[in-house]
Amino acid sequence: MTIFVTGGTGYLGSYVVTRLLEQHDDRLLLMVRGKSRDESVAKLWNGLQLHMDAASFRAALERIDFVSGDLTMPGLGITGDERRRVTQSVDSVLHIAASLNRKSEKACLNSNLRGTLNVIQLARDVASARGGLRRFSHVSTVAVCGHRDREDVTEDASIDWNRSDYDPYGRTKKFCEHMVRELLPDVPKTFFRPSIVMGDSRHPRTTQFDMVRATCLLIDAPFVPMRADARVDIVNADYVGRAIADIHVKESPRYDCYHLSSGRASKRAAEIDAVLTEKIAGRRPARFAPRLEKPFASLMNGMAGLPRSQASLVGSLFKVFMPYITFDTVFVNDRVCEELGETPVPFTEYCAGLYRWAKEHDYTFPYVALPAAPSVEHGTKNGAGAWA
């Protein structure tokens, strides 16, 4: 069986692809914006070197095919004989790719709405060519819930069309879920909604830094503009990757929608602060000042509008992420815990290592180029995704 995957070279996608390669037997057809196979391999190596060494990566390539494509192009840019090969070889679709640009309506409309519509059309073509589609999985977000405050939200209560949205990202992802349900009525579907995905419970390394940087800046601030008892729903990326991969390949998952979150076990801001104070030498306990939340938000919004600078970067980070950190809302995860038989690792168990590593590496991952192959590979592709 072959899974068509979008977004496999991204941060979350790298966890999903690694899990599929290590724990399952399916072939993977990755859509990558690469003009050649070599370029596609390089993009994938950038994502997967967080998870495996070069030898393991080269061995994994035996189960991976590439197709050159772009979410925003008509038909994903996959046409003619190449599209026919895709539709005849694929039996399920795992759509991870999305624009995370929470400030840009244009980017979210193009990549999320138009892109998802193009992926849906490919899925319909697959179903037509093969007489059905085993599964269509869509990676969404808890941001579809819109404005919330001090709530415990279940999957079925997340989307309320009468609520306002925080940003274009949440708004477009909500419509994406709606499109998938409406346009693939006869296809088995699974929706995954991650909360704040940050860090790996097994090691301190990461390749995703925007939320990590915002969190570190908040932790280091003289005053923390939020309530000490506010719950922060942070989930480890290795758990999220496992959930998406394992549930996608299941013949009959129990549910069609899962919150990939820490749920009611989410730690409170004061608990996270206490662990960091204990484990980070010289750190003083945070001074929580919830009355400063609105003035702080206004200040960050103003800084975000400044000409490009360090100040505008900081302002933009907090303008985007602050609502999700302070709204004290958790997303009930009973379904995924039941499905996997395992709960996420609490953020307090790995936050100190992540904090130290990110700051020591100046919020930059030490990427290395893929070493030259020791021998000629086989099973490769010619050009931009054509099978040899």
Model pLDDT, residue 384: 38
pLDDT tens-place string over residues 24-53: 999 999 999 988 999 999 999 999 999 999
pLDDT tens-place string over residues 120-178: 999 999 999 999 999 999 999 999 999 999 999 999 999 999 999 988 889 999 999 99
Between the CA of residue 234 and those of 59, 122, 177, 196, what are the distances in Å?
Answer: 33, 33, 22, 5
Kindly state the DSSP code that residue 281 receives in the 8-state scheme: T
Model pLDDT, residue 334: 98
* Mean of pLDDT over the chain: 93
pLDDT tens-place string over residues 189-198: 999 999 999 9
Q: How far is CA 183 from the centre of its chain?
A: 23
Beta strands in the chain (DSSP E): 2-6, 27-32, 64-68, 92-95, 135-139, 152-153, 189-194, 196-197, 231-232, 234-235, 257-260, 267-268, 330-331, 381-382, 386-387
What value does the mean pLDDT take over residues 367-385?
A: 64
Q: How confident is the model at residue 219 (pLDDT cuts 50, 70, 90)?
A: confident
Written as six digits, the tokens of 268 are 């409170």
What value does the mean pLDDT take over residues 304-317?
A: 86
pLDDT tens-place string over residues 228-243: 999 999 999 999 999 9
Q: How far is CA 214 from the centre of its chain?
A: 17
Distance CA 296, CA 223 (A): 10
CB-CB contact of 260 with 192 (8 Å): yes
Q: How confident is the model at residue 363 (pLDDT cuts 50, 70, 90)?
A: very high
Portion of the chain with pLDDT greater than 70, in percent: 96
What value does the mean pLDDT take over residues 213-220?
A: 90
| pLDDT score of 386 more than 70 | no
| pLDDT score of 59 more than 60 | yes
Model pLDDT, residue 387: 44
Specify the residue for token string 């939020």. 226
What value does the mean pLDDT take over residues 272-295?
A: 94
| pLDDT score of 76 more than 80 | yes
CB-CB contact of 57 with 45 (8 Å): yes
Model pLDDT, residue 376: 54
- Please give the domain boundaries of the chain with CATH numbers for all domains: 2-287+310-366 (3.40.50.720)
Model pLDDT, residue 103: 66
